[in-house]
Amino acid sequence: MNTQRDDLIFRFADPAALGAAALTGVYEGAAHDHADGFIHCSARHQIEGTLAAHYADVDRIALAVIDAAALGDTLKWETSRGGEDFPHIYGQLPFTAIKSVHILRRDEAGGWRLPEEL
């Protein structure tokens, strides 16, 4: 397993689900997270690949920027797609660990417009 520990990790989600998490204080993941037993996340360099692999059929998605240190022992880096280590959250994602949320949309050519600060 990779010993890399990024300061920030990223989670794609339905914008309404993240809005609900803001009210309840926790994000519990989507159906595929529940099936796998953890909340799937990405490192910065994995964002584009995750969009291509899992969100090809959507035009709008929320991207949560998460403070990895705030997750403590619930954050594990595990080998996944392409033999690469991905961050996985075992348990709920406290909304207080989310530093910001960006709504991503596709550009005129169909590509994703990422925030400039990323």
Radius of gyration (Cα) for the chain, nearest Å? 14
pTM: 0.91
**Structure tokens of 106?**
């596709």
Residues in the chain: 118
pLDDT at 82: 83
The partner residues of 63 in beta bridges, in order of sequence, read: 12, 102
Q: Tell me, what amino acid is at 9? A: I
Q: What percent of the chain has pLDDT over 90?
A: 81
User: Does CATH number 3.40.30.10 belong to domain 8-105?
Assistant: no
- On the question of pLDDT at 99 being above 90, the answer is yes
Distance from C-alpha of 44 to C-alpha of 6, rounded to nearest angstrom: 8
